[in-house]
């Protein structure tokens, strides 16, 4: 039996509780709340060998960058440095205004419901600043990969599809494309960007139909889109992460 369906695979599990109040409250209470609205220093995992590419990976709602940094440390990526920032703590409307780490405010569960346009663009700009920092440190934008899980994946997808400089690739796990009414549109820069998208077949929080709709939309705009589904819920699993590792390694130079 595949480990994808097992919540006991602790080595790879990230269960962030996106969009469901009870689960988010549980996660946030486990972490302990912070009142700071500024992003804390990101978790960084060094490349195993020569650093030629950087992955910037954003966590899901109510989570932090620490768990994902541990996963990427276990993947032992040879030439890729991994940066896992933590979102600022803000009130989330859908969860009764409760404050938690969130890349932007979530206003509705409906695919056609209202979205936090300003917050989404602010989060995308924060990700762009991290990309610029890597450029200043000698890693060109076309050697920077952006990715994320759930809400973090939404920001990664949106940023990549609107970025004005070439990027190396995108990883979107159990996610969707925000502000999708603005798409499709002719991408001036990242039409040929490799995109790896994956989703749980039994995801009760971000249903796989959202992933399929997102995949169909992204496929209209890009030429190198891959979509994988796994027998799991709103989480990750060893099979998925092995695919992620292979995808990342295919983008990095020795």
Using the predicted structure, report yes or no on whether residue 15 has a pLDDT greater than 70.
no
Using the predicted structure, report yes or no on whether residue 223 has a pLDDT greater than 90.
yes
Beta strands in the chain (DSSP E): 43-45, 53-58, 80-84, 89-92, 98-101, 144-149, 169-173, 194-200, 224-230
Residue 1 lies in a domain: no
Residue 41 lies in a domain: yes
Q: 76 is in which domain, residue-wise?
A: 10-251
CA-to-CA separations, 77 to 50, 55, 246, in angstroms, rounded? 10, 10, 10
pLDDT tens, 145-179? 999 999 999 999 999 999 999 999 999 999 999 99
CATH number, domain of 180, equals 3.40.50.1820
Buried b / exposed e over 191-214, threshold 16 CB at 10 Å, is eebbbbbbbbebbebbbbebbeeb
pLDDT (0 to 100) of residue 112:
81
pLDDT (0 to 100) of residue 5:
34
Is residue 63 annotated as part of the catalytic site, yes or no? Answer: no
Residue 136 lies in a domain: yes
Give the mean model confidence (pLDDT) for residues 204-228: 95
> Widest CA span of the chain, in angstroms?
48
Domain count, the chain: 1
Question: pLDDT: is 7 or 59 the higher one?
Answer: 59
Active-site annotation holder among 59, 203, 225, 236: 203
Residue 165 lies in a domain: yes
Is there a contact between 49 and 78 (Cβ–Cβ < 8 Å)?
yes
Is residue 150 annotated as part of the catalytic site, yes or no? Answer: yes
Name the nearest CA neighbour of 234 among 210, 212, 201: 201
Residue 4 lies in a domain: no
Buried b / exposed e over 52-64, threshold 16 CB at 10 Å, is bbbbbbbbbbbbb
pLDDT tens, 32-89? 333 334 567 999 999 999 999 999 999 999 999 999 999 999 999 999 999 999 999 9
pTM of the entire predicted model: 0.86
Residue 175 lies in a domain: yes
pLDDT tens, 180-203? 988 877 677 899 999 999 999 999
Is there a contact between 89 and 34 (Cβ–Cβ < 8 Å)?
yes
Residue 2 lies in a domain: no
Three-class secondary structure of residue 243 per DSSP: helix
Active-site annotation holder among 150, 163, 225, 236: 150
Q: pLDDT above 70 covers what percent of the chain?
A: 83
Is residue 234 annotated as part of the catalytic site, yes or no? Answer: yes
């Amino acid at each position: 039996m595949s480990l994808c369906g097992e919540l006991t695979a602790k080595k790879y599990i990230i269960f962030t509780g996106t969009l469901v109040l009870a689960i988010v409250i549980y996660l946030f209470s486990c972490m302990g709340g912070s009142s700071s609205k500024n992003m804390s220093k990101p978790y960084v995992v060094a490349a195993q060998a020569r650093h030629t590419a950087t992955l910037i990976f954003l966590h899901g709602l109510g989570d932090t960058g620490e768990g994902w940094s541990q996963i990427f440390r276990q993947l032992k990526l040879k030439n890729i440095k991994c940066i896992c920032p933590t979102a600022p703590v803000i009130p989330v409307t859908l969860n009764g205004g409760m404050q938690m780490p969130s890349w932007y405010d979530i206003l509705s569960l409906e695919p056609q419901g209202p979205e936090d346009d300003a917050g989404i663009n602010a989060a995308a700009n924060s990700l762009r600043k991290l990309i610029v920092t890597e450029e200043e440190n000698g890693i060109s934008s076309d050697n920077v990969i952006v990715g994320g899980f759930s809400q973090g994946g939404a920001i990664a997808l949106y940023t990549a599809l609107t970025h004005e400089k070439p990027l190396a690739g995108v990883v979107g796990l159990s996610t969707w494309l925000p502000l999708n009414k603005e798409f499709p549109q002719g991408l001036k820069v990242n039409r040929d960007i490799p995109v790896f998208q994956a989703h749980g077949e039994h995801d009760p929080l971000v249903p796989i139909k959202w992933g399929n709709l997102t995949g169909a939309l992204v496929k209209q705009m890009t030429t190198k889109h891959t979509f994988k589904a796994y027998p799991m819920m709103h989480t990750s699993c060893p099979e998925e992460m092995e695919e992620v590792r292979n995808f990342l390694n295919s983008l990095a130079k020795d």
